[in-house]
Amino acid sequence: MSEILIDVQNVTHHFKLNRKTAICAVDQVSFQIKKGEILGLVGESGAGKSTLARCIMNLYQPTAGRILYKGIDTCDRRQFKEHKKMLQTKRQLIFQDSTSSINQRMKAVDIIAEPLRINHVHTPRGSARAEAEFQLHYVGMDAGCLDKYPPELSGGERQRIAIARALSMEPELLVADEPIASLDVSIQAQIINLFKHLQKEHGFTFLFISHDLAMVEYLCDRVGVMYQGRLVELAPTRDLFSNPQHPYTRTLLSAIPLPDPKRERNRRKGVYDAQKS
């Protein structure tokens, strides 16, 4: 439990707009995720959460800093190439929008079995189809959906297929980039419960990116708060929600609506000004 799986050290990522200007999307972020932990990452839009996730998944090359996965520097070309296969199978990414993250012209079976086919993995359940069926059961869908195309399925089912695809490789690290943002509330709850259940069974390490504070509080062991590319606070969930240290975190928490209308009316919403503090 205490073993560190991924170590992010001073990662900075710039997006070049043109020759002169660059936007600093992620600024000097450092944190560690322990094995089997669920780390939540919250922050407003444009805070650099997704960029950080993509840096961790090697989709972007960070401008500066290192990311160590089990001691392997994934930002280093040579080390990445050396462990390419392991890195590609053991780390999986779930995208926000299931409509665009799965190919509309492929059947559910093919989508789920795609990573197996790419990596020529022989599954314990025999054929790729059997494996896909198993994974589909695992995420709570029945085998009837195997031969359906994504447009025939609902948003929640599509997201489940995306999750099943990520799980079919039995990853050690699962990075979910706002997996519930495009779903409606009842489906969100289903998917969150599914994540919680799956994490308990599989024991994978989970980086969960969201801007829904309630979901993060429910799911995560530790929560990191990002603001303008910086990680302003990182604390265990209970500490963060009961005793926020950073003023931005306090402002963020004050934005949560209260279920009681009387208290809601008296709720004071803070405004965070980065220049002031």
Partner 1 sequence: MTEKDFELAGIRTVEEQPLRAKRKWYKEYPVVSMLFLGIMIVECFFCEQIMTVNPTYMDLEHCNVAPGRKFLFGTDTLGRDIFSMIWYGGRVSLLIGFVATAISTAIGVLFGAVSGVASPRADAFLMRAVEIVLSIPNLLMIVLLQAVLGGAGVIGISIVIGITGWMSIAKVVRTEVRQIRNSEYVIASKCMGGSFWHILWRHFLPNFWPSIMFMVVMNVRTAIVAESTLSFMGIGLPLEIVSWGSMLALSQQALMTGSWWMILIPGCFLIVTLMCVTDIGNSLRRDSNQRQSNL
Q: Candidates 2-10, 64-72, 91-99, 235-243: pick the segment binding partner 1 (CB under 8 A).
A: 91-99
Please report, as a single letter, which amino acid is at residue 115.
Answer: P
Residue 101 vs 199, nearer CB to partner 1: 101
Residues 106-165 that bind partner 1 (CB under 8 A): 106, 110, 114-115, 117-119, 151, 165
φ/ψ of residue 16, rounded to 5: -80, 125
**Contacts with partner 1: how many residues (CB under 8 A)?**
27
Among 93, 132, 173, 198, binds partner 1 (CB under 8 A): 93
Residue 102 vs 213, nearer CB to partner 1: 102
> What is d(CA 272, CA 24) in angstroms, rounded to the nearest whole number?
20
The DSSP secondary-structure symbol of 52 reads H
**Cβ 49 to partner 1, closest distance in Å?**
16
* Residues 231 and 31 sit within 8 Å (Cβ to Cβ): yes
Residues 165-184 that bind partner 1 (CB under 8 A): 165, 169
> Per CB under 8 A, does 103 bind partner 1?
yes
> What is d(CA 246, CA 49) in angstroms, rounded to the nearest whole number?
18
Tokens of 167: 């799980």
Q: Candidates 10-18, 68-76, 92-100, 122-130: pick the segment binding partner 1 (CB under 8 A).
A: 92-100
**Cβ 116 to partner 1, closest distance in Å?**
9
> Which residues is 67 bridged to in the sheet?
8
3-state secondary structure (DSSP) of residue 246: coil
Among 105, 200, 268, 269, binds partner 1 (CB under 8 A): 105
> Per CB under 8 A, does 85 bind partner 1?
yes
**Cβ 80 to partner 1, closest distance in Å?**
12
> Per CB under 8 A, does 84 bind partner 1?
yes
* Residues 2 and 172 sit within 8 Å (Cβ to Cβ): no
Q: Candidates 99-107, 133-141, 187-195, 244-252: pick the segment binding partner 1 (CB under 8 A).
A: 99-107
DSSP string for 67-133: EEETTEETTSHHHHHHTHHHHHHHEEEE-S-HHHHS-TTS-HHHHHHHHHHHHTPPBTTBSHHHHHH
CA dihedral 173, 177, 179, 185 (to 10 degrees): 130
Task: Give the CA diameter of the chain.
Answer: 61
Residues 232-261 that bind partner 1 (CB under 8 A): none
Q: Candidates 68-76, 81-89, 241-249, 254-262: pick the segment binding partner 1 (CB under 8 A).
A: 81-89
> Per CB under 8 A, does 102 bind partner 1?
yes
- Residue 29: in which H helix or E strand, if any? strand 22-34
Residues that bind partner 1 (CB under 8 A): 57-59, 84-85, 88-89, 92-93, 95, 97, 100-106, 110, 114-115, 117-119, 151, 165, 169
